[in-house]
Amino acid sequence: MPYVTVKMLEGRTDDQKRDLVEKVTGAVSETTGAPREKITVFIEEMNGGNYAVNGERHSDVTP
């Protein structure tokens, strides 16, 4: 029973998230042989204030 967590910055549409979940589920099923109904995908969204690269928060450098 695979569990997949996708962490990403907030701002994607519901349609984009549906497409992501569908494609991740398909890829996991194809590569592991797990039945699609046993695959769980979690989407964890972060705001730009909680994400940093090279010592700078995303919200401080992105308008």
Which one from 2, 17, 24, 43 is the annotated catalytic residue? 2
For residue 58, how many other CB atoms are within 10 A of its CB?
15
2 is catalytic: yes
Q: What single DSSP character describes residue 10?
A: S
Cβ atoms of residues 44 and 7 within 8 Å: yes
Token pair belonging to 42: 């979690």
- Residues designated catalytic: 2
